[in-house]
Structure 1
Amino acid sequence: MPQTAPGFTFAAGNAKKILALPGYALGALASGVIPRRRDLWVFGSGPGIGEGALALYRVVRASDPSLSLLWLARDERDLDAAEALGIPAVLKSSRQGLLATLRARVVVVTHGFGDANRYGIRGAFVVQLWHGIPLKLINLDSPATVRTRLLPDSALVRRLMRFMYRGGARAIDLMPAASAVSASRLRSAFALPADRVVVTGDPRDDVMVAGTESERTATARALLFGSLGLEPTGQRVLLYAPTWRDGEIDPGIPTADEWRRIVGVLERTDSLLVVRPHPHGVGDYADGFALSPRIRLLGAQQRTDVTPVLPAVDVLITDYSSIAFDFALTGRPILFLSPDVETYEASRGLYVPYDTFSGGAEVRDWGAVLDLVATVDEPDARARLERHSDALATAHHAFRDGENTVRVYSQIITRLKEHE
């Protein structure tokens, strides 16, 4: 079930960074005496087996069988998932995980250095794939990211955390971006030189354009319904995917009356509402699941990586999540529910005004969302929604040819040769 108590927060994450400083120092010493293997690449991803790291792993494996590739797993569940996919893996926190990171020529991550063994990063060629096109201010661009539980909030502490973020970012050798817009934000957020952030397209999104639309939809529906424990049907699929709020509860959780109204609409339209909480999100959606089998949970335990199932979705409902940029590649309707837009913009911050992201069509409660759902198939309304999805996709994706991952691999190989 979704979390009802805070999981990851910036303050907690930064506290761990400070406590890890001695380990970084020891790792730096070890990296000076342990030689790196030219044929060893290691991969990790914060949520588990998936994201762009898995896409890149597959391209590298197919492109150069002589390389030794290893996945750095979070836990036993990841080890089992890796085994099922035929991927060699070790626990990143184990002695094997540390040694593999220290010996690897290339380290691939999607969230942070902790996706690998963070103490063995120094001296490797680090590829930071990231995990979406930024809408929310991230890293150095957001004041929210420099809080810590260990020290009182002050200008000095914030400067210390910014110094640490900048120091860590200097280890990144390549950061692929989906578009020029995304590249500009990533360069700013990570204080990276322009040549380290390259517009290649996001490997995560190759699955969004592979094959024909009917093939993508059929494959994604099989994945989605299988993850939900259901047989694929012709039901219309609505996906509610809110972002996280740094330990705060999702204000978009429906009230009891709204849940009842949602069920009524789902029944009248033969639809399924899939709730995908953010892995770090806080909130309890159990009242909806208990009310109707037409409301289903797709948590991180059921499906680590949500992107491959997006072509199964007919209508996306979200707030500030970058999932909208990925889903926009389908050209299908996106509905924007933002009950806390003023406070969210003030506390976390966005790279653009929210109404630019939403097209000015955001609503504040589920009653208004359901009104939009009722009109989504009307020609004028659908055309307007699809135009906005197309506009988001055009602005934020430089490529739609399914070759993003290949371009990233090519960049890595080129840069490794330059370093020789």
Structure 2
Amino acid sequence: MSDPLTDAVGAVVSYLLRPLVFLLSHLVPRNDRVWAFTADQSGRFAENGKYLFLHAVGRSDEIRPIWLARDREVLTELRGRGYETYHVDDWPGKYVALRARCVFTSHGVPFWQYIGGATVVQMWHGNALKRLGNDIESGTSLLVRSHRKHVIRNWDRFVTTGTADALAPFTSAFDVTPEQALPTGYPRDDVFFESVEGATVGLGEYDRLRELSEEATLISYMPTSRNAFEGDQGTIDGSELGIEELDRTLVEHDAYLLLKAHPWSNVELDEAEFDRVILLPSDLDIYPVLPLVDVLVTDYSSIYFDYLLLDRPVVFYAYDLDAYRDARGFYFDYDEVTPGPKPETSDELHEWLRHFLQGDDGFEDERARVRNRFFRHQDGGASERIYRHVRDEVLDLSADRSDSVEDGTRRDTERSVEPGRSL
């Protein structure tokens, strides 16, 4: 049995050594054809990293894509599907991080100490409506700010959806320059336009929801994280929705409500008490599901920007708008960039849902205006644009595309997970 004190001391020493490891990692030679992918802190297989990885797997005659997992179940699932993946805390995973020329992420990189000298592509996780980064961080020391800017947020490329308004918040929040910006669109949105092999990996709910969507109307309620509030103000218990009356409305119109909370939110709701309410796991990758959804209900979540690409109704149920704006703040005028009705009470919410359930709309032009304001590309080609940019312009690999990722000979596209393969 390990000693808690020894473990604690070891953890502190390891943490303090990370800056030194980061400096030394610059000395490790990197393999231009080894690309490492990861997602968010939860360890799930999701976000932009997932979709670019799946795209890159199809180009494995040119490069060697490797998923660095943070969750053991995800590791097992992906290996079982034939994808090359390692856990970031195991030595093979650390070695991949040290040797990969490119690291793709949509959040922070927990293994940042191993990626000195790598090309880091930050794909982020949505257009910014709420303030973030520099614009909400206060009271931090000069040392912490310097560490964030020069190490944690020292990104070589930053993916945006391609317009000036899409980039502006990140220039303010993270000091992203136009030279860093990669205006390609988000890989996770590709699944709206075309089938992506592997997109439903780990989504046990998908088949059920797809079948349901063929028989009934699906409404999804996806509020943002409520961590801007203290105490129980961020709890989702259904009272804000008038859930009992809403359930009856859903029955009347042969519709279902898919409730997916933000991973940081607290949900106190029992699905068994309702006929037409389905609780989705908070860590579910929602992007393969969104094309099945007929109406989106949200508040301040950036999910609605992506959903605009499907050109379907969005209801902005911002019942605590003033309080949230005071607590977090926005980059844009809320009314200007939210193309849909804005009910303030549950009764008004039900009225607007009945409006859309009856087949009425009326917000098509508004959605098009906001969609064009934030998306340069409105297609399924984001992954390919990023892939080509990094391959051709960052690494200049386009001149010799038939080389192996290992020894200069062309190889087939079989995906191996043998730990002994050379990097």
The TM-score range, normalised by the shorter chain, is 0.7 to 0.9
The CA deviation at 1:95 is 2.2
- Residue in 2 that maps onto 1:390: 368
Query: Does 2:260 match 1:276?
Result: yes
- Residue in 1 that maps onto 2:408: none
- Residue in 1 that maps onto 2:329: 349
Query: Does 2:21 match 1:31?
Result: no
- Residue in 1 that maps onto 2:276: 294
How far apart, in 2, do the equivalents of 1:32 and 1:291 lie? Answer: 56
Cα deviations by residue, 1:187-208 (Å, 9 ceiling, x for unpaired): 2221122211121111111111
Q: How does 1:12-27 map to 2 (within 5 A)?
A: 22-27=16-21
How has the CA–CA distance of structure 1 residues 298 and 228 changed in structure 2, closer, same or farther, with 3 Å as cutoff?
A: farther
- Residue in 2 that maps onto 1:236: 217
- Residue in 2 that maps onto 1:12: none
Select 1:364's aligned residue among 328, 338, 344.
344
Conserved? CA contact 1:225–1:232, under 8 Å? no
How far apart, in 2, do the equivalents of 1:100 and 1:258 lie? Answer: 50
Q: What TM-score, normalized by structure 1, do the two folds share?
A: 0.81
- Residue in 2 that maps onto 1:175: 158
How far apart, in 1, do the equivalents of 2:241 and 2:381 lie? Answer: 46
Q: Counterpart amino acid of 1:210?
A: E
The CA deviation at 1:418 is 6.1
Q: How does 1:247-262 map to 2 (within 5 A)?
A: 248=229, 249-250=233-234, 253-255=237-239, 258-262=242-246
Q: What secondary structure, in the 3-state scheme, does the structure 2 residue paired with 1:60 have?
A: helix
- Residue in 2 that maps onto 1:43: 37
- Residue in 1 that maps onto 2:410: none
- Residue in 2 that maps onto 1:245: 226
How far apart, in 1, do the equivalents of 2:167 and 2:182 lie? Answer: 7
Q: What secondary structure, in the 3-state scheme, does the structure 2 residue paired with 1:278 have?
A: coil
The CA deviation at 1:376 is 1.7
The CA deviation at 1:164 is 3.1
The CA deviation at 1:39 is 2.4
- Residue in 2 that maps onto 1:93: 89
Q: How does 1:71-220 map to 2 (within 5 A)?
A: 71-114=67-110, 117-143=111-137, 146=138, 155=139, 157=140, 159-168=142-151, 171-180=154-163, 181-210=165-194
Q: Which structure's CA Rg is the greater one?
A: 2
The CA deviation at 1:71 is 0.8
- Residue in 1 that maps onto 2:383: 405
Q: What secondary structure, in the 3-state scheme, does the structure 2 residue paired with 1:130 have?
A: coil
How far apart, in 1, do the equivalents of 2:168 and 2:388 lie? Answer: 21
Task: Give the unaligned 5+ runs of structure 2.
Answer: 1-11, 399-423
Deviates more, 1:244-253 or 1:134-143: 244-253
How far apart, in 1, do the equivalents of 2:185 and 2:240 lie? Answer: 42
Conserved? CA contact 1:187–1:197, under 8 Å? no
How far apart, in 2, do the equivalents of 1:21 and 1:205 lie? Answer: 36
Conserved? CA contact 1:40–1:67, under 8 Å? yes
Q: What TM-score, normalized by structure 2, do the two folds share?
A: 0.81
How has the CA–CA distance of structure 1 residues 119 and 293 changed in structure 2, closer, same or farther, with 3 Å as cutoff?
A: farther
Conserved? CA contact 1:209–1:400, under 8 Å? no
Task: Give the unaligned 5+ runs of structure 1.
Answer: 1-17, 147-154
Deviates more, 1:363-372 or 1:227-236: 227-236
Query: Does 2:48 match 1:52?
Result: yes
Q: What secondary structure, in the 3-state scheme, does the structure 2 residue paired with 1:409 have?
A: helix
The CA deviation at 1:244 is 0.3
How far apart, in 2, do the equivalents of 1:223 and 1:178 lie? Answer: 30
The CA deviation at 1:408 is 0.7
CA RMSD of aligned residues (A): 2.9
Query: Does 2:312 match 1:332?
Result: yes
Conserved? CA contact 1:178–1:202, under 8 Å? yes
The CA deviation at 1:109 is 0.6
Q: What secondary structure, in the 3-state scheme, does the structure 1 residue paired with 2:58 have?
A: helix
More helix by share: 1
The CA deviation at 1:344 is 1.2
Conserved? CA contact 2:102–2:119, under 8 Å? yes
Q: Counterpart amino acid of 1:163?
A: S
Conserved? CA contact 2:235–2:268, under 8 Å? no
The CA deviation at 1:179 is 2.3
What is the number of residues matched between the two proteins?
376
How far apart, in 1, do the equivalents of 2:282 and 2:90 lie? Answer: 23
- Residue in 2 that maps onto 1:414: 392
How has the CA–CA distance of structure 1 residues 418 and 398 changed in structure 2, closer, same or farther, with 3 Å as cutoff?
A: same
How far apart, in 2, do the equivalents of 1:414 and 1:326 lie? Answer: 27
How far apart, in 1, do the equivalents of 2:37 and 2:209 lie? Answer: 28
Conserved? CA contact 2:340–2:366, under 8 Å? no
Q: Counterpart amino acid of 1:135?
A: L
Conserved? CA contact 2:109–2:152, under 8 Å? no
The CA deviation at 1:328 is 0.9
How far apart, in 1, do the equivalents of 2:361 and 2:29 lie? Answer: 58
Q: What secondary structure, in the 3-state scheme, does the structure 2 residue paired with 1:41 have?
A: strand
How has the CA–CA distance of structure 1 residues 419 and 353 changed in structure 2, closer, same or farther, with 3 Å as cutoff?
A: same
How has the CA–CA distance of structure 1 residues 311 and 139 changed in structure 2, closer, same or farther, with 3 Å as cutoff?
A: same
How far apart, in 1, do the equivalents of 2:241 and 2:69 lie? Answer: 42
